[in-house]
Amino acid sequence: MRVRSQHLGLGFLRFDYKQGRIINESPPQSVIGSVIHLYLRRFPCRGSLLSGFIIKKGFCDVFDGDWVFDDSYPLYNSSKCPFAERGFNCLANGRKDSGYLKLRWKPRHCDLPKFSPHNVLESVRGKRVVFVGDSMSRTQWESLICMLMSGVGDPGNVYEVNGSEITKTVRFLGVRFERYNLSVEFFRSVFLVRQGSPPKHGPRRVRAILELDKVDEISSKWVDSDILVFNSGHWWTRSKLFHVGRHFQAGGRLKLGMPINAAFRMALHTWASWVEKIVDTNRTQVFFRTYEPSHWSGSNGKGCNVSKQPSFEDKSEFGKILNDVVTNMRVPVTLLNVTSMGLFRSDAHIGTWNYPSPDLDCSHWCLPGVPDAWNELLFSYLFTNGWRQLGR
Q: Is 66 a known active-site residue?
A: no
Choice among 135, 137, 225, 294 that is catalytic? 135
Mean pLDDT (the chain) is 83
The whole-angstrom separation of Cα 392 and Cα 386 is 9
Average pLDDT value for residue range 63-70: 91
Cα–Cα–Cα angle for 13, 17, 18, rounded to 5 degrees: 120
The whole-angstrom separation of Cα 61 and Cα 39 is 12
Distance of CA 144 to the CA centre of its chain: 11
Model confidence at 250: pLDDT above 90: yes
Closest CA to 101 of 10, 38, 15, 227: 15
Closest CA to 367 of 133, 160, 84, 115: 84
Query: CA separation (Å) from 372 to 75, 123, 141?
Result: 8, 18, 10
Model confidence at 184: pLDDT above 90: yes
Which of 292 and 264 is assigned the larger pLDDT?
Answer: 264
At residue 36 the predicted structure's pLDDT band, cuts being 50, 70 and 90, is very low
- The kind and range of the H/E element at 203 are none
Cα–Cα–Cα angle for 330, 332, 335, rounded to 5 degrees: 115
Residue 107 contacts residue 51 (beta carbons within 8 Å): no
Residue 104 contacts residue 67 (beta carbons within 8 Å): yes
Model confidence at 390: pLDDT above 50: no
Closest CA to 87 of 309, 317, 359: 359
The whole-angstrom separation of Cα 269 and Cα 290 is 16
**Residues in the chain, overall count:** 392
Cis peptide before 368 (omega within 30 of 0): yes
Distance of CA 180 to the CA centre of its chain: 25
Distance of CA 88 to the CA centre of its chain: 14
The whole-angstrom separation of Cα 221 and Cα 378 is 22
Model confidence at 13: pLDDT above 80: no
At residue 291 the predicted structure's pLDDT band, cuts being 50, 70 and 90, is confident
Average pLDDT value for residue range 338-343: 88
Average pLDDT value for residue range 107-124: 92
DSSP 345: B
Which of 51 and 352 is assigned the larger pLDDT?
Answer: 352
Choice among 234, 247, 349, 364 that is catalytic? 364
Q: Please count the other Cβ atoms lying within 10 Å of the Cβ belonging to residue 160.
A: 16
The predicted pLDDT at position 222 comes to 98
The predicted pLDDT at position 355 comes to 87
Q: Is 295 a known active-site residue?
A: no
The whole-angstrom separation of Cα 392 and Cα 387 is 5
Residue 261 contacts residue 317 (beta carbons within 8 Å): yes
Closest CA to 182 of 228, 124, 225, 221: 124
Average pLDDT value for residue range 186-195: 98
Q: What are phi and psi of 120, to 5 degrees?
A: -65, -45
Distance of CA 4 to the CA centre of its chain: 28
Q: Is 361 a known active-site residue?
A: yes
Q: Report the DSSP pairing between strands 208-215 and 246-250.
A: parallel
The whole-angstrom separation of Cα 73 and Cα 277 is 42
- State the virtual CA torsion across 203, 204, 209, 211 in degrees, nearest 10: 10
Cα–Cα–Cα angle for 238, 142, 342, rounded to 5 degrees: 55
Percent of the chain with pLDDT over 70: 79
What's the N-to-C CA distance of the chain in angstroms? Answer: 31
Choice among 216, 347, 361, 372 that is catalytic? 361
